[in-house]
Structure 1
Amino acid sequence: MRINKACTLLSNSSYSIETISSHLGFYDTSHFSHYFKQKINMSPTGYRKHKNWTI
Structure 2
Amino acid sequence: MSIRKHIKAAIKSLVLRAIDSGDIRAELERLHLLSALVGVSNVASFSRLAAKREATD
TM-score category (smaller protein):
0.3 to 0.5
TM-score after normalising by structure 2:
0.33
Higher relative contact order (CA 8 A, sep 6+): 1
TM-score after normalising by structure 1:
0.33
Larger gyration radius, structure 1 or structure 2: 2
